[in-house]
Amino acid sequence: MLREALYAKIHMATVTQCNPEYSGSITIDSDLLDATGLRVNEKVLVADANSTNRFETYVFEGEPGSGIIGVNGAAAQLTGIGHRVIIMSFCHLDEQEFSAHRPRVVICDADNRVEKLIQYDPG
């Protein structure tokens, strides 16, 4: 049996761009991707702390150090520049993997840089 678990999270990043004309995705500063282990094209769930909207999309790599959190395509209608978002990825783990897994979590500062990096305790 597999369990679905949090793989990684970017907590309280600030949306810097919304582009509804773009084909889709969320563009994330590659420094944040590196810190969490998130990858280009990976599916993510985005929770908007301001509007309470949630949406799924996939990751595009942004310029390192840019602080970009750019919501593209139809999802851009569900958030706004300046909104705070939580970006989460999930994985499927067997019992042994689940017992050892430690999700990587980035707490963002006001400029979408790593303020703090934590790893949750195993389940």
Q: Catalytic residues, which ones?
A: 25, 58
**Distance of alpha carbon 70 from alpha carbon 76, whole angstroms:** 8
CA distance 10 to 52: 16
Alpha helices in 28-111 (DSSP H): 30-36, 95-100
Question: Is residue 88 within 8 Å of 9, Cβ to Cβ?
Answer: yes
Q: Which strands form 26-29's sheet, in the order they lie side by side?
A: 17-19, 69-72, 26-29, 54-62, 43-48, 84-93, 3-14, 104-108, 114-119
